[in-house]
Structure formats: C-alpha cells, structure tokens
Amino acid sequence: MKKLSQFTLFDWDSFQKGKVFVCTSVTELKNYDTQEHIGTKVEVVIAKDETEYNVRDGETVTNLYEKLVFKVNKDIEIPLNAVVQPQKVTCTVYGEFKNQLSCFAEDIIIVPNKQN
C-alpha cells in the first residue's frame, strides 16, 4: 500500500499538554525552491514535559530538552529564552523511523513572565 502516511494525523493539542517551550533561535524562513523570504522559523527546546505518554511497564518516556522548529508564514520577533506558545499548529510525522516532526504554526505568542 502506498501513501498511507497522508492519513496519519498528529494530535498537537494532546502532545503539547504539560509542556513548556523556550525559544532558542529565530531565523528566516525561505521557500525551498525559490529561496524567497516567506516568514520565520522559531526553534524551541522543551523545557518542561509533564505529558502522559502511553508506555509499557517499567518504561520511562520524556521529550524533555528535545528541540522543535516551528515555521510561521509571517515575520515575528521572539526574544531568546522567552517562553512561547505556538498557535494553531499542524504537524507531520516523518522519517525512516517516524521520529521526526515538521511543525507549522499560524503564530507564536510570548507567555508573560509571572514575577511577584
């Protein structure tokens, strides 16, 4: 059977629950074919992961400190080390072992720092 991966849906809302994303890099997003500027790539690290994963007995799973890149089709400015929250995210799982994630976000907002 061919093209089965197009029917695999990634549940972003469940994946992002219990996670905190911290910005580590902001770069230009270019069209692969034309090299035309089309937006912003925001790289984040997962700084907190309290997501409950389906695991086998005795298995421990976390994505703590894993990096993700969000592609946003507009220009945005995010300071380094800012806690961010991607908005309206769509992801595609890819790779030989289905362990890579391509993420597009409509926007990324900065989470206000709560200092008392």
How many separate helices (H) and strands (E) can be counted in the chain?
A: 1, 5
**Pairwise CA distance, residues 75 & 53, whole Å:** 34
Please list the rounded mean pLDDT of every run of 10 residues in the chain (116 residues): 78 96 98 97 98 89 97 98 98 89 97 76
- Domain residue spans in the chain? 4-52+62-110
Confirm or reject CATH 2.60.120 for domain 4-52+62-110, answering yes or no.
no
Tell me, what's the pLDDT at 42? 98
Sign of CA dihedral 77, 81, 86, 90: positive
- Cα radius of gyration rounded to whole Å, the chain: 16
Tell me, what's the pLDDT at 70? 98
